[in-house]
């Protein structure tokens, strides 16, 4: 999959209207042309009146693209563990519906979250369905999202017994969300099992871009969260700015490169060409050991960090 990746999910749909399609197609084209070939979405992104719009848009953009790296495109989607999905057949049907919206087969099908924290009895059948997708040749690979080390090992054994490898694991990971690696040890487990770790929300919902302050926050729930976090995360923002200035990069690019240096594939979102180009600027270079140590040391002393996804298991 390479280290240059992009996320297309619910962020794509915030404030979305059809007039944005041409702009988003241009963003897609710029990404692929610069070697960004993995695009991630989910069947729960764009539900209700949007009717799976995220997958529909991603499929539309992929079909329209004819430039460099066209043959390397990898379209990944996450299949939600909805309470009404109770059988292995429901997962197969869900993936087929995603493929119809994409206009092509899903390359990487992922279990969006584990039900271990609330309905553990539901999970086995859904994982069987995920393995069925691989055995039926409907997908090129399968992955997981929001799984911790203990639950990951259980799923690994379950799918291994059917000869189905786990290709990827997505977790919330950034300078403000190191818990999956530092507390759960997921990177070591993934390396041991041959699983690629994917970092979603690598810019911590935009906090690590440095563009927000206590007097400049988004509206709604994000604004409430940001006001709580911003006073306590100033040390890491200052550290990012200092390294960025020395490197002639931006804080966002440094934060993304840190994720890459930690052996993960970060999947930031972008709705404009400018955002896409800035994120692409995180590729092709690496922070040195001293810079990584400075960032890690600063993170260890922070008063506040991002809240964890409620579906994250141990």
Enumerate the active-site residues: 45
What is the spatial distance between Cα 102 and Cα 48, in angstroms, rounded to a whole number?
A: 17
Parallel, antiparallel, or unpaired for β 265-267 and 196-200? parallel
Residue 259: closest CA among 194, 314, 177: 177
What is the spatial distance between Cα 236 and Cα 148, in angstroms, rounded to a whole number?
A: 26
Compute the C-alpha angle 8/13/14, nearest 5°: 120
Identify the three-state secondary structure at position 64.
helix
What stretch of H or E contains 242?
helix 234-247
Q: 306, 204 in Cβ contact below 8 A?
A: yes
Query: HSE-up of 204 (CA within 13 Å, CB side)?
Result: 27
Gyration radius of the chain over CA positions? 19
Query: HSE-up of 84 (CA within 13 Å, CB side)?
Result: 2
What is the spatial distance between Cα 165 and Cα 296, in angstroms, rounded to a whole number?
A: 32
Structural tokens at position 27 = 């963003």
């Amino acid at each position: 999959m390479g280290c240059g990746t992009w996320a297309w999910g619910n962020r794509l749909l915030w404030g979305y209207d059809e007039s944005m399609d041409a702009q988003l197609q241009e963003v897609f084209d710029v990404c692929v042309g610069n070697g960004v070939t993995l695009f991630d979405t989910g069947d729960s992104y764009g539900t209700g009146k949007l009717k799976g719009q995220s997958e529909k848009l991603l499929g539309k953009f992929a079909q329209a693209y004819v430039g460099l790296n066209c043959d390397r495109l990898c379209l990944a989607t996450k299949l939600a563990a909805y309470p009404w999905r109770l059988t292995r057949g429901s997962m197969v049907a869900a993936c087929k519906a995603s493929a119809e919206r994409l206009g092509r087969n899903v390359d990487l099908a992922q279990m969006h979250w584990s039900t271990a924290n609330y309905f553990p009895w539901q999970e086995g059948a859904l994982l069987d369905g995920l393995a069925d997708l691989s055995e039926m040749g409907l997908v090129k690979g399968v992955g997981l999202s929001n799984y911790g080390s203990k639950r990951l090992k259980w799923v690994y054994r379950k799918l291994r017994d059917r000869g189905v490898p786990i290709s990827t694991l997505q977790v919330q990971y950034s300078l403000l969300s190191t818990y999956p690696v530092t507390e759960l040890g997921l990177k070591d487990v993934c390396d041991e099992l041959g699983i690629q770790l994917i970092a979603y929300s690598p810019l911590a919902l935009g906090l690590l871009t440095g563009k927000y302050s206590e007097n400049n926050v988004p509206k709604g729930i994000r604004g409430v969260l940001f006001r709580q976090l911003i006073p306590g995360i100033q040390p890491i923002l200052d550290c990012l700015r200092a390294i960025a200035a020395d490197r002639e990069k931006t804080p966002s690019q440094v934060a993304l490169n840190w994720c890459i240096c930690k052996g993960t594939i970060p999947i930031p979102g972008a709705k404009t060409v400018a955002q896409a180009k800035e994120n692409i600027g995180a590729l092709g270079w690496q922070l040195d050991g001293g810079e990584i140590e400075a960032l890690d040391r600063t993170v260890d002393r922070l008063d506040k960090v991002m809240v964890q996804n409620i579906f994250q298991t141990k």
